[in-house]
Structures are given as C-alpha cells and as structure tokens.
Amino acid sequence: MASLSASDLVKHDQDHLIHSLHHPMDNAEPLIFVKGRGAVITDVQGREYLDGLAGLWNTNVGHGRAELAQAAAAQMRELAYFSAYAGSSNIPAITLADRLVSLAYKNLQAVFFTCGGAEANEAAFKTARFFWKAKDKPEKVKIIARLDAYHGTTLQAMSATGIPTYWAMFEPRVPGFLHIQAPHPYRFQGCRPGETVGQAAARELDEAILREGPDTVAAFIAEPIIGGGGVLVPPDDYFPRIREICTKHRVLFIADEVITGFCRTGHWFALTHWGVQPDIMSFAKGVTSAYLPLGGIMVSREIKDAMDSVPPERRWMHAYTYSGHPTCCAVALKNIEIMERERLWENAAKMGARLHDGLSRAFAEHPHAGDVRGGKGLMAAVELVADRATKAAFPADQKVGPRVHAEMIKRGVVTRMRGEAVLFAPPLVVTEAQVDRLISVARDAVKAVLGV
Ligand SMILES: Cc1ncc(COP(=O)(O)O)c(C=O)c1O
C-alpha cells in the first residue's frame, strides 16, 4: 500500500474503508495523515497542520513520542498478551491499576480496563445495575444522562448520549435511559427567579429522580465538561449540588472523564475543580495519549466490596478479551510518567487560559460570536450564531459550520465543529505560538466565511 499514490489512496479509502460517522459527503477529499510531532501532523502530500483537537481529544502528550513506541515494543517482546480473566493477571495491568488508584479521586479504589470510552461506559452502567442487585435493590436500573452529552455509540452508550442525531437510524434505544438538560450557561431554559443555571440544572436531576422514583434509578452520568457536545463548562455551583442530590437519593454518580481525564483541564481529573468525587469514573483517550486503545472504569471501595462479597453465581459477569492488555497498560504507564515528568497539567492550565483569553478578545466584538467557552484547561469553543441578540442559529443550508471548518483546514488547522461551534483541544504540549495561531486561524476562517 505504501507505493499507492495519494489519489489512489483516496480511491481505495472511499471504496473499502467504512469510517466512523460514515458518509461520502464528508469523505470527498479525505486528509490522509502520515506523521505527527508535538502538536503538528503532516499529510500524505507533505502539508503540515496544527492538531487543534489533539486527534479526537486524546493525543495529550503530543505526537511522535519515541518513548511510547519503545514501551510498547519492549512489552510485546516480553509478553504481548495473555488473558486477564479472573485467575490470571499481568504486571503492567497490576502496576497501572495501582498507579491510577494513587492519581484519581481518593474514594476510587479499583480499576477495570476496557479498550475505549464507550466500552468503559457500558461497564459503568452494568456495574451500577450490578451494585444495586447485589444490594437487593434489583429495580434500580435506570440511567439519567444529559442532553448534549456524548458517551459513545455502542447501544447503551448511544442511549446515554444526549445528541438525537446519533439515535435516528438506530432506534429503538435501550429502555431505561432518560435525559435532562445540561447546565449550559448560554442556552439553558427554565431558571426560576433568583435561581442560577447551575442550581436549576441540578434541580432537574432532583426532579427527574423523584418523578421516576429513587428506587428505580441506578445512576446519573455526566461529563465534568461536555466535550463533543460543544465544550460546555458547568457553572461552579452545579457539581457540588449534583453530588448532594445523588447521595441523598442513593443514585450512583458516574463521571465520564474520557476527555477531561489525564491533565486536559489542568488537573489529573476534572471534578477536582469543584472538590467532588464520583462513585464510578470512566476514562479512556488520554490514558495512553492515543498511542494504543485503552479505557476503563474506576469504582469506589463500596462497589469493589460488593463485587468481592457476592457469591460466585451472582458474580460481576462482565468481560472483555482485551481488558488489562499488557502492551496497552505498559504504554499507559509510560504516558503517565511523561505527564508527571513534564507536569503537563500546568501547561494545560496555562495554555488553556491563553487560548480562552485570546479567543474571547478576538471574538469580543464579533457580530456572530454568540458564546466563547473555556477557561478550565485546554478545552475551548466559539459558537457562531446568526443573531447575537436572539441567539438564533444560522439556517442549516448556509453550511456555516462546514465552511468554517474547510477554511481552517486551508489555513493549516484541523479541528472539529459541533454545529456552528468551533472546538479546540490541542495536545497539552502546545506552545504559546501555536495557541496564538489557532486563534488567528479561527478568526480569519470566520471572516472568510461570514465577511466579518
Ligand atoms: C466523553 C466521552 N465519553 C465516551 C466517548 C466514547 O469513547 P470511544 O470513542 O473510545 O468509544 C467519547 C469519545 O469521544 C467521549 O468524548
């Protein structure tokens, strides 16, 4: 294949490769990438681009880290794989589980590994149901999630995802999943007089649990900062209240830290911003900085105790062939070592502030910049609207989002859009000059499309 020309590669891709979110309309001129270094990736034509979204929010330590390749090769030479079903184990999986327990929220005491984020959330939902069955509360099965949330696309994860376009061609969803509004400071509807968005959005959870019946609800799942749904940063009063409500109703709180984990928001894990701990945490992406697929869940001592104390016939009958894959775990360990050595949470916080401040300045007076979001590490977004006063979106047929995206690519920045919101989450090694370029390219691309 290496000898195929660039145009042959495109043709073969279009003929034989099914992509995530597959549609030929979005794949008419695929960029084919061949190399990456730091926050820069190079395509098959030799053109360089700034990686504005760290791959898919995951190449946290940046591209081209030979150390990670060496860690993988060394482990593969020694033991590439063996089953980690109960009864056998391996050293990288044990060491990584220990390491994660020491890094994550204090109450999380055990780890189950998966290959990615959706698998992690599948495991989280099943574990929540398992826990309540083990506690002789078999009716506690429902999962409350939020609109705008993204939790993956396997059938349960898709049913938790709060973006209806993911459901349309795959209905019916798994029963027992329901949605409330996210604490979207720009678009939340329904605050009572005197109530903040954080309080009102948390009240929706309280009301949903009471409406459904606390004895029927297993868990509430939330991304600390919604990523794919548009970088929605919650108000500071939201998660402390959410934690209280979950505790009050004995509903498990699942934090989906698939994007926000591993230094992305300026801390190892994002609920630290609000001093809150979940009962279950899903992780993936940054755990290996995408060098190999890995994810997982971490659970509280109480949940682990339930797993350890049920009789064998009531066991946690959940499994993945690649859970605890030694090579993936060895790469994760080296990746975490790099993050610690380079104190990448600090650069994430510093560059994140520069990115958010810079975008806020660049778009302050812009007539179509509805909302500039960010301020907690390296996650930011600029939402464009047709009318700033009414917050009305552009008509879909104007294709403002895809056109801004294309103009950014022309100027050497790849990222993704959520509707008309430009999303930013570069690798945590991004430099000041690169952050400034992300901002100026976004501003120029918007001008090219909207004329201002
Ligand atoms: C918050 C969140 N959860 C879960 C997932 C699903 O992860 P995966 O694509 O590895 O299944 C994603 C992927 O983008 C995500 O952003």
Ligand 1 atom closest to the CA of 295, numbered from 1: 10
Give the whole-angstrom CA distance, residue 38 versus residue 344.
13
What is the CB < 6 Å shell around ligand 1? 56, 116-118, 121, 150-152, 223, 227-228, 256, 258-259, 284
Domains 31-61+343-450 and 67-341 share a fold: no
Segments making up each domain of the chain, as ranges: 31-61+343-450, 67-341
Confidence of residue 301 (pLDDT cuts 50, 70, 90): very high
Give the whole-angstrom CA distance, residue 54 versus residue 44.
19
DSSP letter for 195, please: -
The amino acid at residue 73 is A
Q: Is the pTM of this model over 0.85?
A: yes
Name the residue with tokens 């061949």: 34
- Give the model's pLDDT for residue 2: 55
Contacts of 177 (CB under 8 A, 6+ apart): 142, 143, 145, 156, 159, 160
Cα 429 to its chain centre, rounded Å, is: 18
161 CA to centre of ligand 1 in angstroms: 10
- Give the model's pLDDT for residue 3: 80
Residues β-bridged to residue 180:
146
Ligand 1 atom closest to the CA of 56, numbered from 1: 14
- The alpha helices in 81-217, defined as continuous H runs, are 91-103, 117-134, 155-160, 197-212
**Residue range 230-247: mean pLDDT, rounded:** 98
Summarised one tens digit per residue, pLDDT across range 142-172 is 999 999 999 999 999 999 999 999 999 999 9
**Residue range 310-322: mean pLDDT, rounded:** 98
431 CA to centre of ligand 1 in angstroms: 26
Ligand 1 probe mutation, 285, 292, 328, most atoms within 8 A of CB: 285
Query: What's the CATH code, domain 67-341?
Result: 3.40.640.10
118 CA to centre of ligand 1 in angstroms: 6
Q: Which CATH number fits domain 31-61+343-450: 2.60.40.420, 3.10.20.30, 3.40.50.300, 3.90.1150.10?
A: 3.90.1150.10
